Amino acid sequence: MILSTLIWFPILGAIALALVPSRYLKWAALILSGSILLGSLWIAYQFDITQPLIQFREDLPWLATLGLNYQLGVDGLSLPLIILNTLLTWIAIYSSPEATERPRLFYGLVLLISGAVSGAFLAQNLLLFFLFYEIELVPFYLLIAIWGSEKKSYAAMKFLLYTAVSGALIFVAFVGLVWLQGADSFAYTALAGNTLPLWQQLILLAFVLIGFGIKIPLVPLHTWLPDTYVAASAPIAMLLGGVLAKLGTYGIFRFGLGLFPEAWGTLAPGLATWATVSVLYGATVAIAQKDIKRMVAYSSVGHMGYILLGGAALTELSLVGAVAQMFAHGLILAILFHLVGMVEAKVGTRELDVLNGLMNPLRGLPLVSALLVLGGMASAGIPGLVGFVSEFLVFQGSYAVFPLQTLLCVVGTGLTAVYFVILLNRTCFGKLDNAIADFPKVEWRERVPALILSLTILFLGLQPTWLVRWSEASTHAMVAVLPPVTQVTTLAQVLDRE
């Protein structure tokens, strides 16, 4: 029941917001999202971390003709993402400005997205996942198109079309799998451990990879990302980068790795290389940016590459690292987008060439700058912060399998440090120009989201067990069923085996 609550409470709440007087709208939205945050934490409390299987199962018959049943469940892979989703929803609602236009629609859509994303993470039926995956499409379109900044209309349409194509590809993969397998239902458990020939698995996996690759996004499917992230307002960019991109990585792990382990093993070297290309591309392009929001957006492209690398290496450690990286990246990207949004709101620009000396204790934005430094450090993987933990686990786990790719990715983290140094150096340090330094004061309540996020980043960086223990049992089970990757490294060997 509790899992359904996570989905339906926000969705019904979104509808109920229509009846709330406009003065209390934000409070109502905060209470709704706060209660699902508590709900997800309660699930975490009840969650048995030694148990690798799906927990809190719910199973109701729905459209049996289609093989679509209402099947929910949570395991170590989805639990951290659920918490991330509910946490970032609350923060997005909290940090949205008081003067948001058309607040009823705004909060309603955010809550709707929260419910749909939870539904996608919890769905144990492929078609149910697809349904939830498609539901968030139009709300996100509207959130970008109505509350975005310049070029919002173009960006929103681009986002919509890319995501719709991604949905179509995923649908083809799912339907193809069920048909080839001869199953009469889209239930995940019935399809995991399928016995398809390798070439069929490879074709289906290719559809899954490209479909979710658009969502993540991986180079070269990423062209929608800079436009969309930049056009979206800060709370929406937070949700886009923090939560929505995780639907892609989650999908690749759950439906790529989980359903086609053999094909995944075959493609693993290619995937690791793909991940490396993404990492290096994202980092180098970020260095060239003049707009800090765009820079953060490209940093996301790079960081998603680590997750794919961890998945490709397929060791227990690298998978734990990848799941941790999903959570860590969500937190870090959220804080960065939040602070960049704050800088833009207070200073009025995002141009690197204009920004200067915000660290100035009297006339600048000292706390915002300090937290921005923290966020940048976390993103660059400085020890003591959560980014380090997950990246270290990924690299440690992957090095034995793909030494070259891992080393190149380590170079990528170095490049991350480069562009964050550029960003921080230009924005926070230097001499503040007195002519423009007349910024509105940062209220204490505006600092709350960034403080919560940075404390979480710091705490999980110092106490990483709290981050990784949820997924250990599940990833262990995932690896246990897999053929070791190192045995099959080239396509030629695969063809020989056939």
Give residues in contact with other proteins (CB under 8 A): 62-66, 68, 127, 131-132, 134-135, 137-138, 141-142, 145-146, 153, 156-157, 160-161, 164-165, 168, 171-172, 175-176, 179
Minimum CB separation from other proteins for residue 163, in Å? 10
Minimum CB separation from other proteins for residue 360, in Å? 36
Minimum CB separation from other proteins for residue 7, in Å? 12
- CA–CA gap between residue 61 and residue 97 (Å, rounded): 42
CA angle 449, 390, 76 (to 5 degrees): 85
Among left, alpha and beta (phi > 0; psi -120 to 50; other), residue 4 is alpha
Closer to other proteins at the Cβ: 110 or 286? Answer: 110
Residue type, 432: L
From the number of C-beta atoms within 10 Å of its C-beta (0-12, 13-18, 19+), residue 288 rates as exposed
Minimum CB separation from other proteins for residue 65, in Å? 6
- CA–CA gap between residue 169 and residue 252 (Å, rounded): 13
Closer to other proteins at the Cβ: 64 or 400? Answer: 64
Closer to other proteins at the Cβ: 100 or 489? Answer: 100
Closer to other proteins at the Cβ: 160 or 263? Answer: 160
The two beta strands, 68-74 and 55-63, are antiparallel
Q: For residue 498, give the nearest of 180, 202, 234 by alpha carbon.
A: 202
Closer to other proteins at the Cβ: 134 or 472? Answer: 134
Residues in the chain: 498
Closer to other proteins at the Cβ: 165 or 407? Answer: 165
Q: For residue 133, give the nearest of 204, 212, 186 by alpha carbon.
A: 212
- CA–CA gap between residue 383 and residue 142 (Å, rounded): 39
- CA–CA gap between residue 39 and residue 89 (Å, rounded): 13
Minimum CB separation from other proteins for residue 52, in Å? 31
Minimum CB separation from other proteins for residue 204, in Å? 12
> What is the three-class DSSP state of 351?
strand
Closer to other proteins at the Cβ: 31 or 168? Answer: 168
Minimum CB separation from other proteins for residue 342, in Å? 24
Residues ≥6 apart with Cβ < 8 Å to 433: 356, 357
